[in-house]
Structure 1
Amino acid sequence: MRSTRRERVGWYFYDWANSAFQTTVITVFLGPYLTSIAEKAAGCDGDACDNAVIHPLGLSIAPGALFPYTVSLSVFLTVFALPIAGAIADRSAHKKQLLALFAYIGAAATTAMLFLTGDRYLLGAGLFLVANIAFGASIVVYNSFLPQIADEEDRDRVSSFGWAWGYLGGGTLLLLNVAAVLSKDALGMSTGEVARYSLVSAGLWWAGFTTIPLLALRNRPPQAEALTGGGNAVTDGFRQLWHTLRGLRAYPLTLFFLAAYLVYNDGIQTVISLASQYGTEELKLSDSVLVPTILMVQFLAFAGALLLGRLARAIGAWKTVLVSLVLWTLVIVVAFFLPAKQAVPFVILGGAIGLVLGGSQALSRSLFSQLIPKGKEGEYFGIYEISDKGTSWLGPLLFGLAYDLTRSYRVAIVSLLVFFAAGFVMLAMVPIRRAIEQAGNTPPARL
């Protein structure tokens, strides 16, 4: 069943829909807002919280560590959810309905943050866990449509356009929320109220625009290979994951590249998810500075991908990713020394993050595509997706532990250097030309 232009446009719109959750909820508003809720529960506020603790589930932690710990737990649990979602998607003739299920669960949990008031930090943490796991599961189902709507020759273009459309969608809602932050006095709302309604807007945006791909996409019969596993979807999901991981042993250099990616991507994802909390809690920047800066990052990420893509054509993708990791290291060092309550240095650093962010992610994906043996693209990119969405928990955990032990966000942010340094060393050790040849592919002229 061939795809139509209408179906492809519909597929693009799910990236437009779900990216609002990534930008508005994870990157900007939830970290500072949930931290303020936790501080209220601890009976303190801001600087007076240095020695305060909260007790979620009987544990004693600093209020500022709640959000990074919650992010860490959510992505750890996602490791178990993604293979199950993938197995069900492979074996289902109702993939569109499965996308709707995960998307609407995530959107409903996000919209329910309307009730995140007072000292209900456990409610906020629980809703985020549900929303983030559902988000990851929906992305697995969403990506599984790609081979069905684009052939091998057109898949890169279709995938890239969807990725770009997502940046625009997430940035558009964030722009609207920035306008609300800047107009909070005219709206008669406090900063906390604007943050809470911005979180709700992401859930409504996610749910509303998800209807477009659901109207445009078509279900197709499951592939024959997906029907041979036996058992139920849960056990088949883990069996399929284990089979793919065992098969990776035949391509040790591909596996080593994937390990390097896991390490440095963990650092990247942690910076994305916790930059807002660092700017608010350590640098004491207001939302009127913080939110427009992160909005700028959102749009510059696409420009950065184009810029580093041009550099990759000149010196090769492998070398360009290594350059990007050096730039990430400089970003962390500069972030450590940023002065508090000064907007200009933070904005300049945000611009640097935007330029390096998009290129790091886009080129890592394209480089990995050269290390996949032909005919196994789907299962290997399934592992890559788990690596991207489900294993980035060590960074938030390290950040949370560093803050919990030192009560210093500067120590917490600089602790992330280990991911970029180790990732650089590991990636530099990959004999990339031999790795591509080992996978049965022809290396490009420049690496």
Structure 2
Amino acid sequence: MSLKENFFTDPFKFDESLYSPGDKEVIEKQVPTTRKELWGYYLYYNGDNGLPIFSYITNLMLYLPYNAGFDPTSPTPNTPCNQNDNTKPCNVYFGSGSVPVTSLSLYIQAIGFVIQFLLFTTFGALADYGRWNVRILFIATIIACATQIIPMAFQDASSWPAMMAITIIASISYGTTLVFYAAAFPTLTYNLPIVRAARASNMPEEEVALVTEKWLNHVSTISTTWSNIGLLLVTGSLTAIAQAPYGESIIGNYPIFNNIGTAFCGAFWVANAIWYFIWIPKERVGPPLPKETNVLTVGWISLFRAVREARRLKYAFLYIIAYFMFSDGVSTINSLLGTTLLNLVTGIASILGCVVLLWFQKLVGLSTKWALMIILGATALIPLWGTFGIGFTTWGIHTKTELWLVFFWSGFATAPVYAWQQTMLAELTPKGKAGLFFGLFGVANKASSWIGPLVIGAITNVTNNVWDGWPFVLALFVIPMIMIFFIDENQARIDIAEYDRIEADAEAAAAQGTYSPETYSPEKAISEKL
């Protein structure tokens, strides 16, 4: 299969005779996706690449309180912390007492998780109705970009409390943009002209599913590739800026570079994000909120209904559990490897990984399920290799050569995880429930992001050997792979079709004022069908 057939196939220009009009209704009652909307979607992710959250903002959050802190073990009150040894204890005054600087990041994660859990659970389902998805994404983007630019004002150590607040807000708003950006992905893809033509034609359902799956994978992978292109562009630009003369050295050797870095990322995001909001069609509107709900209750009502009907959507919930585990594995690998200038290597490898796997999937006709399992298996090679380091000292991620290889492979294998994980969820999600399930996805991601590093820290404290934690990370990939293996994609489509039918009947009954949970429960519908 040629490169043109893989990456430059035009979903807006195709042989319409292959998708002869039929008598079926297009499932998504939306306007067709436009070329500008699709490119706006890609560009948005180019700016929303996460670099400042995981590097410059984090650096500032550690640097400022560390310089404002004191050594609690010193007999002299308010002795400054040892700037040359960050292993020495360092506290900052907090409330009526003091806390270790190293604990601040844990507080930030805990506060951020609780708030995001409430936000995603309460408002995640709103993405499925009206214009709420684009509105929430727009507001979250403004806040996220602002929190990346504002730290330019925080250069004095005494401003660390403000920086802590900004870090929490930045983390929450960034996480919100990821959830609502992803929630727009199924609707955007289903309404590509080529996909609409297939879904409205007389093609067999199996062929329609293949066309839809192909373009879900394509859009998800290309958007993830653009995110990594943005990461590479920003990292390369800031690496060049770091060489600029400043004082007696270069600016990259001074703390102010972190302020410049996060502001640069914020401005880059603004320049890329604005086009999506300009180009998204005004007619891209979901159905109105159900009559028995409002803005504050729709999320919880939708969640309770989905959980109650988990038997009909068992594969979607099984996948979310699997995602909880392997997402934790990815977060733990990133935590163990850390972030360095090797980010440039990882960025290039990430782009190659997405492109190569998309080409390979289309070449051999892999389903989303098997493509994701291959990706997880490839990523699992990292903790497997690290496990060898328990019994060996000359290999098993011990040498510089291995570290370079691991960083390259981490980018090559891990980046596609972000693309195919959301495609898999989109295929297991009922019509019009993307906001709800991607909100649950976001909760699972945030909940899992701290468990792995915490367990690794506990293992290391007991054994005094960080390599002893690699088997645990390996298990975070092996177990989800087994779970995903048992997901039956064909049966999932049948379950979703039945779920959609029941929901449609319930919505029609609600519009007529005859709806009751007992009448339109899945169990009753199934028993009647049997």
TM superposition score category, shorter chain reference:
0.7 to 0.9
Q: Distance in 1 between matches of 2:396 and 2:477?
A: 28
AA of the residue aligned to 1:195: N
Shift of 1:127: 0.8
Equivalent residue for 2:156? 118
User: Does the 8 Å CA contact 2:136/2:180 hold for their aligned counterparts?
Assistant: yes
**Whole-Å separation in 2 of the counterparts to 1:127 and 1:117:** 14
Tell me, what secondary structure is at the counterpart of 2:55?
helix
Other-structure match for 2:138 = 100
CA contact (8 A) 2:383 2:474 kept: yes
Asked if 2 retains the 8 angstrom alpha-carbon contact of 1:89 and 1:95, the reply is yes
For each residue in 1:214-252, what CA deviation from the matched residue of structure 2 results, as whole angstroms up to 9, or x when unmatched? 22123336433x421534312222222232233333343
- Which residue pairs with 2:40 in the alignment? 10
**Conserved 8 A contact 2:130-2:286:** no
Q: Distance in 2 between matches of 1:417 and 1:123?
A: 39
Partner of 2:276: 213
1:54–1:61 contact (8 Å) kept in structure 2: yes
Residue 197 (structure 1) shift: 0.9
Shift of 1:111: 1.1
- Once superposed, what is the RMSD of the aligned Cα atoms? 3.7
Counterpart of 1:329 (choices 380, 383, 387) is 383
How many residues are treated as equivalent by the alignment? 421
Q: How does 1:181-330 map to 2 (within 5 A)?
A: 181-183=242-244, 187-188=250-251, 190-220=253-283, 222-224=285-287, 226-228=288-290, 230-272=292-334, 275-276=337-338, 290-291=340-341, 293-308=342-357, 313=364, 316-317=370-371, 319-330=373-384
In structure 2, the residue matched to 1:436 is 489
Q: Does 1:359 align with 2:416?
A: yes
Contact conserved, 1:36 with 1:45, CA < 8 A, in 2? Answer: no
Letter matched to residue 382 of structure 2: W
Distance 1:248 1:380, change over 3 A: farther
Q: Which amino acid aligns with 2:175?
A: G
* 1:416–1:373 Cα change, 3 Å: farther
DSSP 3-state at the match of 1:439: helix
Match in the other structure for 1:173: 234
Q: Could you tell which deviates more after superposition, 28-37 or 100-109?
A: 28-37
Relative distance call for 1:267 and 1:58 in structure 2 (3 A) is farther
Aligned amino acid, residue 374 of structure 2: T
Larger Rg: 2
The gaps in structure 1 that reach 5 residues or longer are 280-289, 443-447
> 2:205 maps to what in 1?
none
Q: How does 1:346-425 map to 2 (within 5 A)?
A: 346-372=403-429, 379-388=436-445, 391-398=448-455, 411=466, 415=469, 417-425=471-479
Corresponding residue of 1:134: 173
Shift of 1:381: 4.2
Q: What amino acid does structure 2 have at the position aligned with 1:327?
A: L
For 1:40 and 1:400, the matched residues in 2 are separated by: 25
Matches within 5 A, 1:50-61: 50-54=88-92, 56=94, 61=99
| Cα distance between partner residues in 2 of 1:318 and 1:222 | 31
Is 2:122 aligned against 1:84?
Answer: yes
CA deviations on 1:346-394 (whole Å, 9 max, x unpaired) are: 3333112112212333343444455456776664444334434565332
Shift of residue 274 of structure 1?
6.8
Q: Percent identity?
A: 18
For 2:298 and 2:54, locate their aligned partners in 1 and report how far apart those are by CA, in whole Å: 34
Preserved contact between residue 65 and residue 401 of structure 1 (Cα < 8 Å): no
| Contact 1:87–1:234 under 8 Å retained in 2 | no
| Amino acid paired to 1:157 | H
Query: Which amino acid counterpart does residue 492 of structure 2 have in structure 1?
Result: A
Q: 1:223 to 1:299 in 2, by over 3 A?
A: same
Q: Say whether the 8 Å CA contact 2:125–2:439 is kept in structure 1.
A: no
Q: 1:417 to 1:137 in 2, by over 3 A?
A: same
CA gap of 1:399–1:44, structure 2 versus 1, over 3 A, is: farther
- Residues 170-216 of structure 1, C-alpha deviations (whole Å, 9 max, x = no match): 22112111112344556556431112210121122223322222221
Worse overlay, 356-365 or 255-264: 356-365
Q: Tell me what 1:285 maps to.
A: none
The answer to which structure has the higher helix fraction is 1
How much has 1:15 moved relative to structure 2? 0.9
* Equivalent of residue 54 in structure 2, options 21, 24, 27: 27
Normalising by the residue count of structure 1, what TM-score does the alignment of the two structures yield? 0.79
In the TM superposition, residue 271 of structure 1 has moved relative to its aligned partner by 3.6
**Matches of 2:132 and 2:485 in 1, distance apart?**
42
Shift of residue 55 of structure 1? Answer: 5.0
CA contact (8 A) 1:54 1:62 kept: yes
Change in 2 beyond 3 A, CA 1:178/1:401: farther
Measure the CA separation in 1 of the matches of 2:407 and 2:258: 20
TM-score by length of 2: 0.68
- Cα–Cα, structure 1 residues 201 and 179, in superposed 2: closer, same or farther, change >3 Å? same
Q: 1:161 to 1:27 in 2, by over 3 A?
A: same
Q: In structure 2, what residue type is equivalent to 1:216?
A: W
Partners of 2:431 and 2:93 lie apart in 1 by 51
- Shift of the 345–194 alpha-carbon distance from structure 1 to 2, 3 Å rule, reads farther
State the structure with bigger RCO (CA 8 A, min sep 6), 1 or 2.
1
Deviation per CA, 1:280-339, whole angstroms, max 9, x where unpaired?
xxxxxxxxxx22x11221221121234455676498336414523431313655899799
Aligned partners of 1:340 and 1:41: how far apart in 2? 36
